[in-house]
Amino acid sequence: MQRIRHSTFNDKLLEVSYLESRRIAMAGEAHTIAEKLIKPSILDAVKILLGESESKKPESIPLSNNTVSRRIDHMGIYIKYEVCSRLQKCDFFCLQIDESTDVAGLAVLLAFVRYAYEGDIQEDLLMCKTLPTYTTGEEIFRTLDSFMSENEITWGKCMDVCTDGAKSMTGSVKGVVTRIKQKNPECSSSHCAIHRYQLVAKGMPSELTRVLDDVVKIVNFIKSRPLKSRLFSIICEDMGSLRCNLLLHTAVRWLSRGKVLVRVFELREELLAFFKKDKFSLSCCNMAAVPCLYGRYILQVE
């Protein structure tokens, strides 16, 4: 009887170890945080709430750096196995592929898959691999095809491929889409909707472009100066604003244009109060035009 209880307790310890490792992976924290912060916090909580005698049980939870890394690897392997097993059993699936260079200069290939499972449409990350050398259509397709072969996923079930407009993806001779259609002639191709929206947003009317440029000048004037940013946050707090910071605009993610305008529109009164005390000239920045043109801008990019 004692042996059965011991086995059950070990199973609970193992379950807690996997749950905490999953939280660490989802939060993107260092694996050492489990042993340095999470486990001591659990011990303190159990000791205060349940007493000294119960506080010794959480000490057996395996949360070392190597253990957390191993748990995360095991969960990753299981998720990969589960997704690949579903693709092997499903009737068809669709792919969305994108290749980009991260902040470290690595060329990363991402592939998302959408498929039918148990009467519902599921969407999962299929693979994330670095391209060690070139980012040509031949190299991208070779990486994809190698992954498909290793996991016994047939191209015959691929019904559609969604990519951006890069030549390596849509080239008529050596593009990835062309090579996939050689494997499965019935496979169709489509252009990523986000990239379509980006192209539409680049063709804005001059009055909307002028408003966006003025808003970017205002945001940069405050965000690029730590003192100005702190003073603006204090004004927002004094006025009881729900938001206390502006958002920076980036040309990479087109959705940030709308987010920047939304935040400026929400803090328009706070901005006017801030600039009444600041030397920044608003002659070139028509703040009064932001509210009336904000709705037209959103309709334009959407």
pLDDT at 222 over 70: yes
Residues 49-103: pLDDT tens digits? 888 888 888 888 999 999 999 999 999 999 999 999 999 999 999 999 988 877 6
pLDDT of residue 292: 42
Burial of 277 (0-12, 13-18, 19+ CB in 10 A): exposed
pLDDT of residue 285: 47
Residues 175-187: pLDDT tens digits? 899 999 999 999 9
Residues 221, 111: Cα–Cα separation, whole Å: 39
Strand pairing report for 93-101 and 120-131: unpaired
pLDDT of residue 221: 86
Helix runs in the chain, H state only: 2-27, 33, 39-50, 65-89, 137-150, 167-170, 176-183, 193-202, 206-223, 226-238, 255-266, 268-276, 289-301
Residues 111-150: pLDDT tens digits? 999 999 888 899 999 998 888 888 888 899 999 999 999 9
pLDDT of residue 203: 65
Residues 21, 154: Cα–Cα separation, whole Å: 33
Displacement of CA 134 from its chain's centroid (Å): 25
Domains of the chain: 2-75 (no CATH), 90-191 (3.30.420.40), 200-301 (no CATH)
- With beta carbons less than 8 A apart as the criterion, state whether 177 and 170 touch: yes
Hey, which residues does 172 pair with through a beta bridge? Answer: none
pLDDT at 31 over 60: yes
Mean of pLDDT over the chain: 81
- Res. 279 pLDDT band, cuts 50 70 90: low
Residues 192, 58: Cα–Cα separation, whole Å: 49
pLDDT of residue 151: 92
pLDDT at 256 over 90: no
Task: Give CA angle at 283 (282, 284), nearest 5°.
Answer: 90
Residues 77, 201: Cα–Cα separation, whole Å: 40
pLDDT of residue 300: 41
pLDDT of residue 290: 46
